[in-house]
Amino acid sequence: MSLFDKFQPIVEIRAELEELGIMPFGAVTEKILSATEAIVNGYKVILAGTNNYLGLTFDPECIAAAKKAVEELGTGTTGSRMANGTFAEHVKLEQELAAYFDRKHSIVFSTGYAATMGMGSTLAGAGDVIVLDADSHASIYDGVRLGGAEVIRFRHNDAADLEKRLRRLGERISNTLIIVEGIYSMLGDQAPLADIAAVKRKYGGILLVDEAHSLGMLGKHGRGVAEAAGVEDDVDFVVGTFSKSLGATGGYCVSSHPELEAIRFAIRSYIFTASPSPSVIASTRVALRLMQERPELRDRLWENAHRLYDGLKQLGFAVSPEVSPVVAVIIKHRDQAIAWWNELMQRGAYVNLVMPPASPTTDSLLRCSVSAAHSSEQIDRIIEAFAALQAPASASDPIT
């Protein structure tokens, strides 16, 4: 048994794709033309798979702030937050995030993955219990495995199944962490947080919500699904990322529990990695402000989401269960998904190809994410690219 034998299935898939001249994973972006267009693998494409939900990556104020930070503070911190990597700007961003979420405490991480994994691995440990949605992100699963707590999964978005599993815990509920996401990244479906919060109020436990894909798009202030559902007081910890709506890199956790300040010094993904570079912090601070000052971006995002979702559904494609800025076309056969991904690229539309085990089921996905920066014409061109793949027999016989 070789150390490398377990990678053989991946080697075979890669060889198969190379023979076909298709490399969907790690597609090379050769030139960025705007927030919505680029040259990818030699093709000029509309970017329909970047998670740049509010289109802020090319905002002049964000770019100016990043440039100024590089000139004044250098290209990087070269140290962790525990050593020399805490600059005044890191502290200011933490204060601004706490104020935005109306929480008392905040931690800024170097990546969203580090935030989610770090909180999952630190909040609950040996002797504790974690009850999480079965479709949780890989960073959540990685974190809870590291922590050593007992891990119990409940059926995706099923508050009744969550209740059943919490009821069985009895007195152990006081040592239980419940983890869900706001919007799930693969299919764009929302957690029924009002129902989940009601279960939490009935039985107890600590609730952590990952709002990575819902920040900036839901709720009166754009704080996510918890705000939209009116249950923010029931959510103990909110984690998320700067790499979606805020157009940068990094992650965060906010909470009103004073223990978060002590927990900060136990999170390995926080204390053993270099802190975010000054330019990232600077652009994120501006993006956070702009997100609040420009609610019209949220309106535009949802207009585009409805336009793409309705257009693909009318073509007869099997799409996500509900409208969101993540719109996935569900395809039964892997080879079909690969071929269509390549053809979409050639027709000027870049989307994400997702195959098992990354997809939540045995199906493959052509995952689109829309942006407030997309024009109506660009959304229509994405729909036209899908329409050219294959005309379905009828809307009642969807392409899968």
Whether 18 and 118 map to the same domain: the answer is no
Is residue 110 situated within a structural domain? yes
| Mean pLDDT per 10-residue section of the chain, whose length is 400 residues | 85 80 82 96 96 97 98 97 96 98 98 97 96 95 95 97 97 96 94 98 97 96 97 98 97 98 96 97 98 97 98 95 96 92 95 89 94 98 94 44
Which residue, 316, 285, 257, 227, is CA-closest to 97? 285
- Residues with Cβ within 8 Å of 282's Cβ and at least 6 positions away in sequence, in order, are 65, 66, 68, 69, 89
Whether 269 and 224 map to the same domain: the answer is yes
Beta pairing class for 364-369 and 352-354: antiparallel
Is residue 289 situated within a structural domain? no
CA distance 351 to 40: 11
Domain that holds residue 236: 77-276
Is residue 396 situated within a structural domain? no
Domain termination site, one of 276, 307, 340:
276
Whether 136 and 227 map to the same domain: the answer is yes
Q: Give pLDDT, residue 27.
A: 86
**pTM exceeds 0.85, yes or no:** yes
Whether 83 and 229 map to the same domain: the answer is yes
CA distance 347 to 46: 10
Is residue 219 situated within a structural domain? yes
- Residues with Cβ within 8 Å of 222's Cβ and at least 6 positions away in sequence, in order, are 215, 216, 245, 291, 292, 295, 298
Among all residues, which ones are annotated catalytic? 185, 213, 244
Q: For 268, what's the count of Cα atoms within 13 Å in the CB-facing half-sphere?
A: 7
Whether 27 and 171 map to the same domain: the answer is no
Whether 52 and 140 map to the same domain: the answer is no
Residue with tokens 């964000």: 62
Is residue 365 situated within a structural domain? yes
Whether 90 and 220 map to the same domain: the answer is yes
Q: Give pLDDT, residue 166.
A: 97
How many domains, the chain? 2
Whether 260 and 341 map to the same domain: the answer is no
Whether 244 and 112 map to the same domain: the answer is yes
Whether 154 and 253 map to the same domain: the answer is yes
Domain termination site, one of 241, 276, 311:
276
Whether 227 and 316 map to the same domain: the answer is no
Whether 272 and 299 map to the same domain: the answer is no
- Residues with Cβ within 8 Å of 178's Cβ and at least 6 positions away in sequence, in order, are 130, 131, 132, 162, 166, 196, 200, 205, 206, 207, 208
